[in-house]
Amino acid sequence: MMPGKLYIVPTPVGNLEDMTYRAVRILKEAELILAEDTRVSSRLLSHYGIQAKMTSYHKFNEHATVKGIAGKIESGLNVALISDAGTPGISDPGFLLVRTCVESGIEVDCLPGATAFVPALVNSGFPSDRFVFEGFLPQKKGRQKRFSALAEEERTMIFYESPFRLVKFLEQAAGILGAERKACVCRELTKLFGENVRGTLNELAGYFTARPPKGEIVVVVEGKDKKNQTDV
């Protein structure tokens, strides 16, 4: 029996119309779909008339299930991995399964598609030729240390953040990177009420203190300006 294949399939970060034709076809043909949250993914699959066996694959069970899934693919099953939004493996489960499959000689095919940080970076207006993707910073221990390590970073920096921690994030960033450092907060990308709010870190902290945010958030921060650096 020929071994199956693992497909990494990006899903929309908000607008359901952002699925590609190929992504829909792969999900329709897959014999098993691994979903971060089956309740969330069922809405997407229903929208496109996709009827396939779906099972949960998330950060709480991936270590326990990854070898079993790889075994199913080796036995001939074609499996598709999706997350709630965006590309699996980018601040979402996926890396462990991909690595296991690669080490086992299983073919992996990652489709191009949606991921939140790319439109946020382009929308920000900051240089996008070189950038640093940090994803989610540690919630407690190591958070300030990570900010400090980025204080001299000259490339544009991209972060994911929870709406409940956004103001704290902006205040901490302002304290370490500089209150006048420019940034752009991208909220609910591709959705009807999405917004891109630009300003200094200090201004953005005040803005979102007065207007508590909701939804998925990407923060893009400009790199340190070389012209303002002084020789030591």
Position 232 pLDDT exceeds 50: no
CATH class of 5-110: alpha beta
Percent of the chain residues topping a pLDDT of 90: 90
Residue 173 to residue 175: CA distance in whole angstroms: 5
Mean pLDDT rounded to a whole number for the chain: 93
Give the pLDDT confidence score for residue 225 in this predicted structure.
87
Give the pLDDT confidence score for residue 1 in this predicted structure.
61
Q: Where in the chain are the domains?
A: 5-110, 117-228
pTM of the model: 0.90
- Residue 106 CB partners (closer than 8 Å, separation 6+): 3, 4, 5, 6, 70, 73, 74
Examine domains 5-110 and 117-228 and report if their fold is the same.
Answer: no
CATH T-level fold of 117-228: 3.30.950
Q: Which amino acid is at 151?
A: A
